[in-house]
Amino acid sequence: MSVDLSVHLGRLRLKNPIATASGTFGYGLEFAEFVDVGSLGAISVKGLSLRACLGNPPPRICETDAGMLNAIGLQNVGIEEFLSEKLPKLHALGATVLANVWGDTEAEYRAVVERIGDDPRVAAVELNVSCPNVVKGGMVFGNDPAALHALVAAVRPATRLPLVVKLSPNVTDVVTAAKAAVDGGADVLSLINTLVGLSIDVETREPKIGFTTGGLSGPAIRPVALRMVWEVRKALPNVPIFGIGGIETVEHVLEFLIAGANAVQVGTANFRDPGVCGRLVRDLALWCERHGVARVADLSGTLKTRPRPEKAYA
């Protein structure tokens, strides 16, 4: 049986639903010896800004139980070097590129997206409004629905490419944020970014991360991410979703699809196994074949929930 792995996230068409998550796969090129980057659904590149950025001073990462904390601080080569040096090579490798973008101000976000414009080598722009590891920008936008709406609306006219908005889990109600992004002009939502965390070295009584707090990622966050994908799918049934958070195996991919995602992005798992995404594409095809699923897109949003019972007293 041949399985159709292709998925449509609105106008964004992917050959399969396995993408890499921004900041965990460099600019894709670094991973080319481990995986055929052209065989993946998409590659979300490291967050791009107007000028090159050095990020935070070390230490910037530490391991935690079932995950890691990072406060890289959005280190990147800047949009100009990306367009002139990285993108042509990625394009030559046949990669489907999501240009992940950030800025300190609304004007900076817009300027980066204007620079990308309608570049046909870019499949979509992904706005990171949810980075917890910078003092300005990032989460400042993602955690305030009015600021988020204004940012997305300001950026929207700068490109005709599909606009993906990456939401923060560090909010009370992710659905409010999702609606603000969609009302502002987002075509697709990706969720989730990292959860703000703290890890302490008890000998020195110092935080293990130089920035004090860091973003928690990896298997530890998967149930939270799944819950948020499910909530957003219920509230906005027609808005395509990238599910992100702690994905390592094909079962995890399936969990996100069933919860309501149309595709997934894999992050921290790339550090442990740089070839993991290629394996997930193959494993997904095999799983579908074994289970008689002809189109992977049909799995999306098929969660069977039970009615929640009334409270029972003895």
Task: Catalog residues that contact ligand FMN under the rule CB under 6 A.
Answer: 21-24, 46-47, 70, 72, 74, 100, 128, 131, 166, 193-194, 217-218, 221, 244-247, 266-269
Tell me whether residue 3 or residue 214 sits nearer to ligand FMN (CB atom): 214
We find the least distance from the C-beta atom of residue 312 to ligand FMN, in angstroms, to be 36
| Cβ 18 vs Cβ 41: under 8 Å | yes
| Cβ 69 vs Cβ 216: under 8 Å | yes
Calpha distance 120→106 (Å, rounded) = 24
Residues 6+ apart with CB under 8 A from 301: 233, 237, 258, 259, 260
Q: How many CB atoms lie within 10 A of CB 280?
A: 25
- Please give the backbone phi and psi of residue 18, each rounded to the nearest 5 degrees, phi first: -100, 110
Calpha distance 5→41 (Å, rounded) = 9
We find the least distance from the C-beta atom of residue 237 to ligand FMN, in angstroms, to be 23
Tell me whether residue 4 or residue 224 sits nearer to ligand FMN (CB atom): 224
We find the least distance from the C-beta atom of residue 149 to ligand FMN, in angstroms, to be 19
Geometric angle at alpha carbon 163, from 51 and 3, rounded to 5°: 120
Q: What is the DSSP letter of 4?
A: B
Tell me whether residue 74 or residue 299 sits nearer to ligand FMN (CB atom): 74
Active-site residue set: 131
We find the least distance from the C-beta atom of residue 306 to ligand FMN, in angstroms, to be 28
Residues 6+ apart with CB under 8 A from 302: 257, 258
**Rg of the chain over CA atoms, in angstroms?**
19
We find the least distance from the C-beta atom of residue 290 to ligand FMN, in angstroms, to be 25
Tell me whether residue 131 or residue 151 sits nearer to ligand FMN (CB atom): 131
Tell me whether residue 71 or residue 299 sits nearer to ligand FMN (CB atom): 71
